[in-house]
Structure 1
């Protein structure tokens, strides 16, 4: 966790010691009296007992405070996954000169609660172990003396804020680390699920391809026979199609001749009926005309013979 970089897990620790106005001789009897329950502890004694984790009068269990979890470190169940050594996002990636940065599991080592250890180790070869402390102390004194680093009226509050920051980070830092690690694992599992869903189709295609390859290898030996049978089936289908075409053509021509004969017979019948009808009508008309002429002749003879 980034909050724990200012305080190492082992080494210097922050201790809060309550200061009382009484002397040590008066404090010992008071503590003994509180333990035996003879008298009620004062306000400052209650605070001191709270910091020490001693239950007060009338409390059956030891009180739980934020200082119980002080200086705890979160240890993940498994390390963070690293990139494969041969992974490249492009063929032109130079992994020899520009490798991928490794994600550290724990914060780097520090000195004086805030100074990185990598800033101090280069001085050891020349000045020894005390060199970096003298250098940074002298640099701080130089900046303050020359007023390059100016403290304002509220600059002293920085010390209190730093103490508060260190106290909170060491007290609840491991809980925040556990929460962040849990969120990280859940997000990684979510992306792994997406990858598995994307690869599901590829896996199915791979299985199908393997089955098709196996079936093709099985059929490969009998492939000439299969081609021969397919050719025979095609020839049989072509023969049946030709026979069907010939049958349809013959049927069409027979139907045409039948329709032609029926039309010819019907035409002859119509002509014969028309000729007969016309003959009958002509004969009827001739007989009618003959009667009219005969009648006219008889009337003429009568008119000629009337005067006599």
Structure 2
């Protein structure tokens, strides 16, 4: 991915930048040597150093280069959990003739940076290693020669788009795959969390159902006795309510009879007093009654004197 560059350094010296590739966790490292001593890099050299990840004078750590991830192949840290081979969402599912589709984790093997390897394999078995390349090259030349594929400005744009695609996939493809895998893992974790919550609810429901079943079995034998006692309590409550009603009604009637008798006596007393008062007043108007009464009183006084 990198090219050797010869950059001017002052008037008498030149710096040769040579790419040296190492197999390490930090990717590619580039060493710079100078023919005559070392000096302060110029503007172009600083840009080159930044692109190559070479630390400038005075920097303790090498900067992060934008080309560190170029031409890297991405591999998942842990592959997704495969579906069990004997899994069936229904007993009638035919897994032999209609298996579950599987999402490929990695793109298929390619040749020439973008051509599927499956296109070359059938020819390679018959014609050898160079046969597929000659076949597709000859087919392309035949289509252009016979003007079946008219190679106009759209064809040039197609080549440009292919080059742009190759450059894009080789530069940011690693980071893009890594980011998409992280988002996929987040989505898996989200759905796994939902499944875990559902399983937790199911386990809690099973525990609650078991406890309720145990309680029901414990009280099942006592249900008839409980119902009988409840019926007896209801009958007792109804009886006491009826007795209370009878007592209330009886008291009300007795109160009515008592009040009636009291009213009757009071009326008789009033009539008697009135009758006596009228009789006395009538007799008081009679003079013989006064004399008779006076004689009667004198006789009673004499009788009292004799007794004394």
Q: Same fold (TM over 0.5)?
A: yes
2:260 paired residue number: 264
1:114 paired residue number: 114
1:252 to 248, 254, 268: 248
* Structure (1/2) with the larger helix percentage: 1
* 1:114 Cα deviation from its structure 2 partner: 1.5
Query: Which runs of 5 or more structure 1 residues have no equivalent in the other structure?
Result: 1-14, 21-28, 291-308
1:17-66 C-alpha deviation (Å, 9 max, x unpaired):
4588xxxxxxxx974995233598999x9599769959599576766543
1:69 paired residue number: 69
Assess if the C-alpha contact under 8 Å between 1:34 and 1:41 holds in 2: no
* SS, match of residue 107 in structure 1: coil
Higher RCO by CA contacts (8 Å cutoff, separation 6 or greater): 1
Query: Which runs of 5 or more structure 2 residues have no equivalent in the other structure?
Result: 7-13, 18-31, 287-308
1:98-142 C-alpha deviation (Å, 9 max, x unpaired):
322111111100111111111222223433333322221121111
* SS, match of residue 204 in structure 1: helix
Assess if the C-alpha contact under 8 Å between 1:18 and 1:48 holds in 2: no
* 1:174 Cα deviation from its structure 2 partner: 1.5
Assess if the C-alpha contact under 8 Å between 1:70 and 1:170 holds in 2: yes
Q: Evaluate the alpha carbon distance shift between residue 36 and residue 56 of structure 1 in structure 2; reply closer, same or farther with a 3 A threshold.
A: farther
Distance 1:47 1:138 in 2: 47
Assess if the C-alpha contact under 8 Å between 2:51 and 2:66 holds in 1: no
1:219-265 C-alpha deviation (Å, 9 max, x unpaired):
66xx2xx3575366347525643662464255235414422321321
TM-score, with normalisation over the residues of structure 2? 0.64
Distance 1:17 1:48 in 2: 14
Q: Evaluate the alpha carbon distance shift between residue 68 and residue 231 of structure 1 in structure 2; reply closer, same or farther with a 3 A threshold.
A: closer
Distance 1:42 1:266 in 2: 134
Q: Evaluate the alpha carbon distance shift between residue 139 and residue 284 of structure 1 in structure 2; reply closer, same or farther with a 3 A threshold.
A: farther
TM-score, with normalisation over the residues of structure 1? 0.64
* Structure (1/2) with the larger strand percentage: 2
